[in-house]
Structure 1
Amino acid sequence: MTQPEGIAVELERLRGITEAGFARLDGRLEVVLQRTNRTEEDVRRLREEHDQDLAVLRAEVEALKRGRWPLPALGALTGLGGLVAAVLALFLN
């Protein structure tokens, strides 16, 4: 084998190794791309679920706010009732 033929054979061997490496890299990149797409879809779905849950919680909090007792008004009425009872007790005795 002459020197140029040896170089050609070695270059062909390197070309095969390079092609095999690129094929392996391409396969790995496809896997990464699939995982990335799946992750993006999962994140999008989780955001939608989160937004829905948040909307439900906000609606529940608003319903609780509307349904709560007017505690300051009840406190004022109770105090007024106590004052009236004390004044009546003072004058009736």
Structure 2
Amino acid sequence: MAEGFATVNGSLALLAQRGDQTDKAIADHEQRLDALERSRWPLPSIAALVALAGLALSMWQFVS
């Protein structure tokens, strides 16, 4: 009976360790994803820049 409990306790310790490693990996992935989301250019900003560049070019051609 004691040997069975020892085996179960060992298995539970291994599962707990793997759970901790998984939690650390998930936290690392969340940090990396947050950094990527903060550093990317939002699409509306790019569209506004392209529109301003088009307006500036058309005004330059109109004036010339």
TM-score category by the smaller chain? 0.7 to 0.9
Q: Distance in 2 between matches of 1:62 and 1:51?
A: 16
| Counterpart for residue 2 of structure 2 | 30
- Structure 1 residue 91: deviation in Å? 4.5
Q: TM-score, normalised on structure 1?
A: 0.57
- Structure 1 residue 30: deviation in Å? 2.9
| Counterpart for residue 14 of structure 2 | 42
Q: Which amino acid aligns with 1:79?
A: A
RMSD across aligned C-alpha pairs, in angstroms? 1.8
Q: Which amino acid aligns with 1:57?
A: H
Q: Distance in 1 between matches of 2:38 and 2:63?
A: 41
- Structure 1 residue 45: deviation in Å? 0.7
Q: Distance in 1 between matches of 2:3 and 2:62?
A: 88
- Structure 1 residue 83: deviation in Å? 2.4
Give the SS at the match of 1:74. helix
- Structure 1 residue 88: deviation in Å? 2.9
Q: Distance in 2 between matches of 1:63 and 1:73?
A: 19
- Structure 1 residue 40: deviation in Å? 0.6
Q: Distance in 1 between matches of 2:3 and 2:23?
A: 30
| Match status 1:65 vs 2:51 | no
| Counterpart for residue 59 of structure 2 | 87
* Unaligned runs of at least 5 residues, structure 2: none
- Structure 1 residue 86: deviation in Å? 2.2
Identity among equivalent positions (%) equals: 25
